[in-house]
């Protein structure tokens, strides 16, 4: 009877029988107290088995197909073209792949498999939201992911170790373990997802692992989801130069959350190494033992309990063991500032740890001490106090947690490093902290009209100051014309070696060229225009027919113009203007012909 049904109705009915619920299976919690380092207590979980798919299909093609397919929240996604043989192993592999290796699909609630006698043909799904809601949610997800990936994604200067380290730290700082709601039974399912981490900033281990997996993938680093049924817990195995290592962001993020605090004891560990931090159940290990390399099992970052900061491709961190602010570049460590502070507990006693935290506001490093938050100027090494939170709520109150987020300085103030939710909430002190840009010119001044300028926060864009720029007194010589609106000076003068052969200035206006790489001021030369000594505008020189910037129009330029006109090479905006000898938008065959004639007549 059942087999007849299956034949007749194909997959539809079977689906409801084999629907999986990841949530029930995957509830996981870390009751991990930072202060006393107790072993975690965890719920049950299973591990995925997706490797079999690698041998069967083009996994990247399948991945893209699933992500695109499920984005519209259809009843099912057809995967028959992948010809995945129907069997129990592959069935689990497909659902596991979606649960654990496609963090983008955070809106999928339940999954079912459809099949015919030979192949798995469909993946059915139910959802936590509608397709249009998912579109909005995914846009938020992507926006925050990009924020955490800033300076890391596509940065070839950084090693994969450095990228993995920064992303590990940024997740731990950004997200808080959803402990309270898990404990009282009100935690939403979304906390098991990467969306929980990136958008809600609350998640449990599965969410942390999926978010890390997603960010690593964006940064070009392979990783897979690693879980333990005995520990009822999940984390990542990350590949650095084809070598696998365990990384557990969840356990490096303390509960209760302390702002700015992140451990590095579960970062790039061998199986033995991570087992020693509590990843074993009475000595038993039931997770991937592939990571064996011990290179990083006792590495310098384990001395730091605060987030590493990336500034100009260099890493800055606080060595909490040595009590110092340090920089590390190509394995070379430099001590920048000693932070020999103590956190007093009572009369004559103090806490035996070091609780300075590190952040970066886009301009300066920020670090906390027991009583204040300081900014540290990387260029000069100078420090100054930027925030002294109120410490009068009780005796011996100090700053134990600190972070900078969304233009706010956030301090956890208490009389002990061991605080719970209520003490943390009631003792959080904040200060708005915008960081001004230099003046940004909105409209450059002309000889007759004043220009305008403003300063804005480099982090949130909030405009803090506006100003006007007095009209400037710059005029063109007879061989030139000035396009004030777009800041160009067009000229027919070849081999110009004095900008005052092109323009005249008068009154309080001055002009100079800062970078003169060539003898002649050819196309591309930037003339800075100042008013009363303050730089207010600029003019870019465009020499008619001089595409390559050597100050003259000749056959070299004609060759370039020909390539532009045939589409063999894409010209820049300046090259287009130079080729035409006037403000223009394209290089045509006629442009080339005119330029060739000019070059030959010189
Ligand atoms: Zn701001």
Mark whether 311 and 390 lie in a shared domain: yes
**End-to-end C-alpha distance for the chain, whole angstroms:** 93
Specify whether 566 is located in the same domain as 593.
yes
Residue 40 forms part of a structural domain:
yes
Expressed as residue numbers, the domain containing 445 is 437-471
Report if residue 163 sits inside a domain: no
Per-residue pLDDT tens over the stretch 257-306: 889 999 999 999 999 999 999 999 899 998 889 999 999 999 999 999 99
| 241 within some domain | no
463 alpha carbon – ligand 1 mean position (Å): 9
Residue 480 sits in the same domain as residue 525: yes
Task: Point out the least confidently predicted range of 11-15, 173-177, 224-228.
Answer: 11-15
In terms of Cα–Cα distance, which of 154, 150, 172, 145 is closest to 301? Answer: 172
pLDDT in tens, 359-403: 999 999 999 999 999 999 999 999 999 999 999 998 999 999 999
Cα separations in angstroms, 415 against 267, 350, 392, 404? 30, 10, 10, 21
Distance 445 CA to ligand 1 centre (A): 28
Cα 552 to middle of ligand 1, angstroms: 47
Mean pLDDT value of segment 526-543 = 90
CA 456 to centroid of ligand 1, rounded, Å: 8
Residue 405 Cα to ligand 1 midpoint, Å, equals 10
Tokens of 409: 């300085």
Mark whether 543 and 564 lie in a shared domain: yes
Q: Which of 135, 164, 190 is the last residue of a domain?
A: 135
Does 224 fall in a domain? no
Tell whether 389 is covered by a domain: yes
Closest CA to 374 of 459, 433, 415: 433
Residues sharing a CB contact under 8 Å with residue 344, sequence separation 6 or more, in sequence order: 350, 351, 370, 396, 398
Query: Final residue of a domain: which of 116, 135, 154?
Result: 135
Q: Which of 14-28, 430-444, 450-464 has the lowest mean pLDDT?
A: 14-28
Asked if 102 and 128 sit in the same domain, the reply is yes
What is the 460 CA–ligand 1 centroid distance (Å)?
A: 4
578 shares a domain with 489:
yes
- Please determine, for residue 10, whether its predicted confidence score (pLDDT) is greater than 70: no
Q: How much distance in Å is there from the Cα of 439 to the middle of ligand 1?
A: 15
Cα–Cα distance, 219 to 227 (Å, whole number): 23
Give residue 450's pLDDT.
87
**Does residue 359 sit within a domain?**
yes
- The mean pLDDT of 60-76, rounded to a whole number, is 94
Asked whether residue 456 falls in the same domain as residue 489, the answer is no
Q: What's the 407 CA to ligand 1 centre distance in angstroms?
A: 5
Query: In terms of domains, do 335 and 410 share one?
Result: yes
CATH number where 419 lies: 2.40.128
Residue 295 is predicted with a pLDDT of 97
Residue 334 domain flag: yes
Ligand 1 centroid – CA 198 distance (Å): 20
CA–CA distances in Å: residue 497 to residues 500, 520, 543: 9, 5, 12
pLDDT at residue 90, as a whole number: 84
d(CA 433, ligand 1 centre) in Å = 6
Q: Are residues 362 and 339 in the same domain?
A: yes
The model's pLDDT over 108-166, given as tens digits with 9 standing for 90+, comes to 888 888 888 888 888 888 888 999 999 999 999 999 999 999 999 999 999 999 999 99
Q: Residue 379 C-alpha to ligand 1 middle, in angstroms?
A: 22
Rounded to 10 deg, the angle between the 205-218 and 160-174 helix axes is 140
CB neighbours (10 Å) of residue 468?
Answer: 13
Residue found by looking up tokens 């931090």 in the block: 277
State in Å: Cα 362 to ligand 1 middle.
Answer: 10
Cβ–Cβ contacts within 10 Å for residue 242, how many? 6
Whether 148 is covered by a domain: the verdict is no
Identify whether residues 427 and 311 lie together within a single domain. Answer: yes
Tell me the CA–centroid distance for residue 437 and ligand 1, in Å: 10
**Phi and psi based region of residue 263 (left: phi greater than 0; alpha: psi -120 to 50; beta: remaining):** beta
Statement: the pTM of the whole predicted model exceeds 0.85: no
Residues with CB under 5 A from ligand 1 (ion): 407, 434, 457, 459-460, 462
Dist. CA 224–CA 47, nearest whole Å:
11
Q: Give kind and range of the element (H or E) at residue 338.
A: strand 332-338
> Which of 446, 471, 496 is the endpoint of a domain?
471
Pair 121, 7 in one domain: yes
Please tell me the distance from the alpha carbon of residue 525 to that of residue 516, in angstroms, as a whole number: 8
Domain co-membership, 405 together with 489: no
CA of 458 to the centre of ligand 1 (A): 7
**β-strands 349-351, 343-346 pairing:** antiparallel
β pairing state of 488-491 and 534-543: parallel
Q: How many domains does the chain have?
A: 4
């Amino acid at each position: 009877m059942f087999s007849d049904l299956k034949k007749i109705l194909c997959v539809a009915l079977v689906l409801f029988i084999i629907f999986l619920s990841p949530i029930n299976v995957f509830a996981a919690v870390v009751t991990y107290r930072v202060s006393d380092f107790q072993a975690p207590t965890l719920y049950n979980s299973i591990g995925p088995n997706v490797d079999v798919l690698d041998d069967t299909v083009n996994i990247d093609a399948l991945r893209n197909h699933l992500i695109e397919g499920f984005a519209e929240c259809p009843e099912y996604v057809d995967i028959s073209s992948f010809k995945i043989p129907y069997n129990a192993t592959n069935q689990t592999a497909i659902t596991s792949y979606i649960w654990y290796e496609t963090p983008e699909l955070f809106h999928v609630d339940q999954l079912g498999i459809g099949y015919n006698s030979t192949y798995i043909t469909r993946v059915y799904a139910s959802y936590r939201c509608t397709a249009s809601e998912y579109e909005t949610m995914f846009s938020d997800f992507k926006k925050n992911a990009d924020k955490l990936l800033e300076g890391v994604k596509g940065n070839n200067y950084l090693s994969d170790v450095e990228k993995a380290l920064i992303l590990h730290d940024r997740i731990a700082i950004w997200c808080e373990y959803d402990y309270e709601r898990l404990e009282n039974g009100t935690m939403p399912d979304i906390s098991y997802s990467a969306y929980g981490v990136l958008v809600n900033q609350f998640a449990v281990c599965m969410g942390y692992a999926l978010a890390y997996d997603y960010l690593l993938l964006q940064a070009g680093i392979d990783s897979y989801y690693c879980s333990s049924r005995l520990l009822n817990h999940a984390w990542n195995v990350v590949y650095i130069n084809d070598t696998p290592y365990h990384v557990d962001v969840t356990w490096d993020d303390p509960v209760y959350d302390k702002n700015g605090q992140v451990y590095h004891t579960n970062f790039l560990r061998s199986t033995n190494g991570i087992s020693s931090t509590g990843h074993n159940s009475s000595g038993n290990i039931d997770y991937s033992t592939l990571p064996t390399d011990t290179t990083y099992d006792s590495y310098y970052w384990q001395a730091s309990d605060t987030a590493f900061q990336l500034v100009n491709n260099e890493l800055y961190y606080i060595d909490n063991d040595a009590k110092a602010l340090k920089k590390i570049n190509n394995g070379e460590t430099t001590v920048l500032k000693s932070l020999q502070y103590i956190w007093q507990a009572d009369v004559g006693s103090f806490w035996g740890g070091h609780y300075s935290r590190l952040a970066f506001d886009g301009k300066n490093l920020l670090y906390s001490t027991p009583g204040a938050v300081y900014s540290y100027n990387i260029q000069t090494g100078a420090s100054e106090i930027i925030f002294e939170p109120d410490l009068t709520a009780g005796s011996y109150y100090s700053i134990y947690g600190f972070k900078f987020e969304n233009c706010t300085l956030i301090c956890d103030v208490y009389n002990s490093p061991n605080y719970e939710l209520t003490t943390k909430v009631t003792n959080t002190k904040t200060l708005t902290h915008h960081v001004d840009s230099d003046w940004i010119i909105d409209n450059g001044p002309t000889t007759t009209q004043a220009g305008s300028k403003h300063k804005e926060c480099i982090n949130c864009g909030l405009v803090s100051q506006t100003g006007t720029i007095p009209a400037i007194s710059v005029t063109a010589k007879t061989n030139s014309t000035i396009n004030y609106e777009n800041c160009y000076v067009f000229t027919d003068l070849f081999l110009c070696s004095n900008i005052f052969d092109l323009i005249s200035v008068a009154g309080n206006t001055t002009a100079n060229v800062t970078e003169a790489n060539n003898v002649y001021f050819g196309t591309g030369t930037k003339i800075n225009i100042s008013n009363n000594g303050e730089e207010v505008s600029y003019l870019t020189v465009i020499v008619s027919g001089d595409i390559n910037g050597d100050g003259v129009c000749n056959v070299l330029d004609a060759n370039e113009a020909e390539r532009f006109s045939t589409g063999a090479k894409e010209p820049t905006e300046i090259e287009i203007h130079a080729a035409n000898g006037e403000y223009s938008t394209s290089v045509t065959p006629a442009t080339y012909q005119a330029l060739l004639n000019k070059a030959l007549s010189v």
